């Protein structure tokens, strides 16, 4: 048992027992390796070291999936610097994946590696799609040998597994062990030798030939916990591997190491001090999100899901993130609800969808199943909550229906674009809109109906674009949302249809129509053909979803607030995008769509910083001098006298070098945001003037503004919003100033500090 008792042949050993700091000791060489981690140095938040948690033995190191890795310098074999061939190599490591790499380019997310596959040199131990894993070696004679985990031996997420890989050239064997037991082996020619890879370090947690995304993000990096990494230049026997596994179990009372979810989950703590990350807008704990979707109320709680890449702040293989709330304002992070799995349903992503109730009143999720081996690669699928047997009101567990419910056939919509089901139920059955297009005509929402929620009938085009008249509506629509608005003054039932155009020539914004539902044909008749905008910002308010709140009867719309940053800055920041504030949308007396932030946001008000009435521009600014902040709610009503342009400057430095101007142009009837002085940071993108039409019809300008770090949301007269972003370079960009090109009267103004929801 020498391989265990005296560590015979042990070349390298990382115990990961430091428990703190940004280095890890390799015990044999006594070299302290630097741990690369994005927040070792930080531009926008407080620097902090990598995250350490309870390990399989002692502590373990948490790898974030995109920036955490260790490079250990390797001393080449002989005096000429030529790598020496090895007759044997064994690796043992405790692994707890948090998420799996997509497997793009057929490359492994490396646990530990030092290889060059083109030269067929070195070794690689890593994970692939859906938790499969492999040990790969380059042999003399130019052979690259791969041994894969068999079916049923994937490494489970959020659990410890003990992995061993053994290359025995003398005996001509290569083997894999899981939790002390052999699970795979392959024969090699006796006397085989492993050729060490020249000119490369030993990398832990990063593939030394990983792909690069957006010229910034290294793919094939490990996400999760690692502990007790040992590399030997001998071939461990089955008895030695088993003894090594038992050694850890014996240190824990004979029990396989357990891992608490809180020790491996994505942690938002390092981002709470980021001076640009919103603190009262909903966001993932870290990394990437796009649209929030599938809102639903059940058993006293609101659930909201979101498109999420748990590996890093970049668009990649998409999962469904999950939040829950009792008040639509304070949200809790829950584990990923839906993830790609090794099946024929959605192995390549779980894209947007919606939520409704089954015949028993239990929540169900409809999602876009991504399967790149199918044509088209997207279909409508279903997942059910396990609530009926576990009674967990957080709805943490979901089980996918094994087959897609709606598969696009040729002649139904634009073939290959068929996604984002919006499903609702009434006492006659279930109805679904699917985003697509009509070949040669433009974007469309396609209509389907079902009596049992499982078998669906195509009813035709629900509504489609006139792309000749409105080319900005694009060839494809995504994320259709359909909500009842109630009856107008004539007693006619009205509905709201939201869509998001994409494709060549499309203006990617949230467009809407108010109109009537033809239930017989399942089609929509708009009151006017020309689409309207809820938000007049530029590509910040996108990705709509919506629900009828059963507690209040309100229609509530959720959106993504796009980040408007470069990939470089998203890498440095560790996050990308957040949700917009939930909006209440309703039919006004004048027949127009009314929009207001939900009233529950008042729960976040802290100290009231200012209240004033009937002040001139000069008087108002005297009172504003002492009010500063980047987390504020502002309500202001301005009556112009001689001014034709008027509004308020926010995120302003004392010298005015940086500021963002929110204003109304009376002559052009436009609500605008001037970002020409928003930031002096050379890497930020935000600049120029954004805005759009707003007809005030003689009313004073009434602005309801929410500032939340980089988020700026402006709601004007209950009719339009303007969502934009500001990333000032200076930390003193916190001031406010009323502005106009002439005389004006501040009829009223109130300002509150706002509290974080986290």
Per residue in 501-559, pLDDT (tens digit) is 999 999 999 999 999 999 999 999 999 999 999 999 999 999 999 999 999 999 999 99
Instruction: Specify the pLDDT at position 83.
Output: 67
Per residue in 412-468, pLDDT (tens digit) is 999 999 999 999 999 999 999 999 999 989 999 999 999 999 999 999 999 999 999
Per residue in 647-682, pLDDT (tens digit) is 999 999 999 999 999 999 999 999 999 999 999 999
Instruction: Specify the pLDDT at position 84.
Output: 78
At residue 3 the predicted structure's pLDDT band, cuts being 50, 70 and 90, is very low
Q: Which residues contact 483 (CB under 8 A, 6 or more apart)?
A: 495, 496, 498, 546, 547, 548, 555, 557, 585
CA distance 710 to 724: 8
Is a pLDDT exceeding 50 seen at residue 45? yes
Instruction: Specify the pLDDT at position 708.
Output: 98
**How many helices (H) does the chain have, and how many strands (E)?**
6, 52
Edge to edge, the sheet with strand 319-325 lists 331-338, 319-325, 301-309, 287-298, 575-576
Q: Taking the CA atoms of 741, 742, 748 and 753 in sequence, report the sign of the dihedral they define.
A: positive
Task: Tell me if 236 sits within 8 A of 88, measured CB to CB.
Answer: no
Instruction: Specify the pLDDT at position 5.
Output: 44
In angstroms, what CA-CA distances link 608 with 602, 616, 648, 662?
Answer: 12, 21, 18, 22
Q: Where are the beta strands (DSSP E) in 8-132?
A: 10-14, 23-26, 31-36, 51-54, 59-64, 69-72, 88-97, 109-116, 121-127
At residue 199 the predicted structure's pLDDT band, cuts being 50, 70 and 90, is confident
Per residue in 205-231, pLDDT (tens digit) is 999 999 999 999 999 999 999 999 999
What H or E segment, with its residue span, contains residue 725? strand 720-725
| Average pLDDT estimate for 679-700 | 97
| Average pLDDT estimate for 71-91 | 77
Is a pLDDT exceeding 60 seen at residue 147? yes
Per residue in 326-371, pLDDT (tens digit) is 999 999 999 999 999 999 999 999 999 999 999 999 999 999 999 9
Per residue in 378-395, pLDDT (tens digit) is 999 999 999 999 999 999
Instruction: Specify the pLDDT at position 76.
Output: 52
CA distance 114 to 751: 58
| Average pLDDT estimate for 476-498 | 98
Instruction: Specify the pLDDT at position 78.
Output: 42
Q: Could you say which of 2.60.120.560, 1.20.120.450, 3.30.70.260, 1.10.10.10 is the CATH number of the domain covering 605-754?
A: 2.60.120.560
Per residue in 575-615, pLDDT (tens digit) is 999 999 999 999 999 999 999 999 999 999 999 999 999 99
CA distance 147 to 135: 5
Per residue in 265-310, pLDDT (tens digit) is 999 999 999 999 999 999 999 999 999 999 999 999 999 999 999 9
Instruction: Specify the pLDDT at position 7.
Output: 79
Instruction: Specify the pLDDT at position 80.
Output: 53
Q: Quick check: helix, strand or coil at residue 623?
A: helix
CA distance 560 to 568: 21
Instruction: Specify the pLDDT at position 82.
Output: 65
Domain ranges of the chain: 2-8+64-257, 287-599, 605-754
Domain 2-8+64-257, CATH:
2.60.120.200
Task: Tell me if 261 sits within 8 A of 159, measured CB to CB.
Answer: no
CA distance 736 to 682: 24
For residues 246, 251, 257, 258, the Cα torsion angle rounded to the nearest 10 degrees is 160
Same fold, 2-8+64-257 and 605-754: yes
Is a pLDDT exceeding 70 seen at residue 407? yes
Quick one: fold of 287-599? Tachylectin-2; Chain A (2.115.10)
CA distance 65 to 124: 18
Q: What is the DSSP string of 184-238?
A: EEEE--TT--BPPPTT--EEESB-TT--EETTTEE-SB-EEEEEEEEEESS---H
Q: Which residues contact 626 (CB under 8 A, 6 or more apart)?
A: none
Is a pLDDT exceeding 80 seen at residue 4? no
Instruction: Specify the pLDDT at position 263.
Output: 96
Per residue in 10-28, pLDDT (tens digit) is 999 999 999 999 999 999 9
Edge to edge, the sheet with strand 744-754 lists 605-616, 744-754, 631-640, 701-708, 711-716, 720-725
For the chain, give the percent of residues with pLDDT over 70.
98
At residue 2 the predicted structure's pLDDT band, cuts being 50, 70 and 90, is very low
CA distance 495 to 43: 47
The stretches of 471-616 forming alpha helices (DSSP H) are: 567-573
Burial class (CB in 10 A: 0-12, 13-18, 19+), 731: exposed
What is the pLDDT of the chain when averaged over all its residues? 96
Q: Quick check: helix, strand or coil at residue 122?
A: strand
């Amino acid at each position: 048992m020498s391989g265990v008792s005296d560590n015979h042949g042990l070349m390298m050993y990382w115990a990961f027992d430091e428990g703190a700091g940004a280095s890890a000791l390799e015990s044999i060489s006594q070299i302290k390796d630097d741990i690369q981690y994005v927040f070792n140095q930080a531009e926008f938040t407080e620097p902090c070291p990598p995250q350490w948690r309870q390990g399989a033995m002692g502590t373990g190191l948490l790898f974030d999936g995109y920036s955490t890795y260790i490079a250990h310098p390797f001393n080449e074999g002989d005096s000429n610097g030529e790598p020496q061939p090895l007759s044997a190599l064994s690796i043992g490591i405790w692994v707890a994946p948090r998420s799996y790499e997509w497997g793009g380019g057929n490359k492994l997310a490396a646990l530990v590696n030092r290889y060059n596959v083109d030269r067929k040199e070195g070794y690689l131990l890593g994970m692939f799609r859906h938790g499969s894993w492999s040990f790969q070696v380059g042999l003399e004679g130019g052979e690259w040998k791969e041994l894969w985990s068999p079916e049923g031996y994937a490494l489970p997420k959020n659990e410890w597994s003990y992995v061993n890989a053994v290359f025995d050239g003398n005996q001509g064997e290569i083997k894999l062990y899981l939790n002390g037991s052999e699970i795979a082996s392959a024969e090699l020619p006796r006397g085989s030798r492993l050729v060490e890879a020249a000119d490369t370090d030993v990398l832990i947690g990063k593939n030394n030939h990983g792909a690069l995304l957006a010229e910034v993000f290294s793919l094939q990096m490990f996400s999760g916990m690692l502990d007790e990494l040992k590399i030997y230049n001998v071939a461990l026997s089955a008895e030695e591997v088993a003894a090594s596994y038992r050694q850890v179990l014996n240190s824990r009372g004979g029990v396989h190491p357990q891992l608490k979810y809180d020790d491996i989950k994505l942690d938002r703590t390092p981002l709470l001090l980021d001076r640009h990350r919103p603190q009262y807008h909903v966001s993932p704990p870290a990394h990437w999100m796009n649209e929030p979707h599938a809102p639903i109320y059940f058993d006293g709680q609101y659930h909201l899901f979101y498109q999420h890449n748990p590996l890093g702040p970049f668009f990649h293989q998409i999962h469904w993130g999950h939040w829950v709330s009792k008040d639509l304002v304070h949200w809790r992070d829950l584990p990923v609800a839906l993830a790609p799995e090794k099946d024929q349903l959605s192995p390549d992503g779980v894209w947007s969808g919606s939520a409704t109730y089954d015949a028993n009143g239990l929540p169900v999720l409809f999602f876009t199943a991504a399967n790149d081996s199918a044509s088209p690669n997207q279909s409508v699928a279903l997942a059910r909550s396990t609530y009926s047997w576990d009674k967990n009101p957080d709805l943490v567990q979901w089980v996918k229906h094994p087959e897609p419910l709606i598969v696009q056939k040729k002649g139904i919509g634009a073939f290959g674009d068929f996604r984002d089901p919006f499903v609702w139920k009434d006492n006659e059955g279930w109805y679904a809109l699917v985003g697509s297009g009509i070949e040669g005509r433009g974007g469309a929402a396609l209509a389907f109906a079902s009596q049992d929620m499982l078998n669906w009938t195509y009813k035709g085009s629900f509504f489609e674009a006139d792309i000749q008249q409105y080319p900005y509506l694009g060839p494809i629509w995504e994320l259709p949302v359909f909500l009842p608005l109630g009856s107008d003054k004539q007693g006619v039932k009205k509905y709201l249809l939201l869509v998001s155009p994409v494709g060549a020539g499309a203006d990617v914004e949230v467009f809407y129509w108010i109109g009537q539902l033809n239930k017989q044909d399942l089609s929509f008749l708009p009151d006017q053909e020309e689409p309207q905008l809820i938000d007049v910002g530029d590509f910040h308010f996108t990705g709509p979803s919506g629900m009828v709140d059963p507690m209040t009867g309100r229609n509530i719309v959720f959106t993504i607030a796009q980040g408007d940053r470069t990939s470089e800055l998203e890498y440095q920041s560790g996050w990308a995008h957040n949700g917009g504030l939930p909006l209440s949308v309703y039919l006004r007396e004048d027949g127009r769509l009314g929009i207001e932030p939900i009233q529950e946001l008042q729960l976040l008000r802290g100290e009231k910083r200012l209240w004033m009435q009937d002040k001139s521009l000069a008087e108002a600014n005297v009172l504003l001098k002492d009010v500063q902040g980047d987390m504020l709610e502002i309500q202001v009503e301005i009556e112009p006298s001689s001014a034709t342009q008027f509004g308020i400057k926010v995120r302003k430095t004392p010298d005015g070098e940086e500021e963002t101007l929110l204003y109304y142009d009376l002559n052009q009837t436009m609500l605008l945001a001037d970002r020409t002085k928003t930031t002096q940071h050379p890497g930020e993108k935000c600049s120029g003037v954004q805005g759009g039409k707003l007809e005030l019809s003689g009313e004073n300008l009434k602005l309801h503004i929410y500032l939340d770090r980089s988020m700026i949301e402006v709601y004007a007269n209950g009719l339009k919003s303007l969502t934009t972003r500001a990333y000032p370079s200076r930390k003193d960009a916190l001031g406010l100033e009323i502005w106009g090109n002439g005389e004006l009267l501040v009829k009223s103004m109130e300002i509150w500090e706002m509290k974080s929801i986290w």
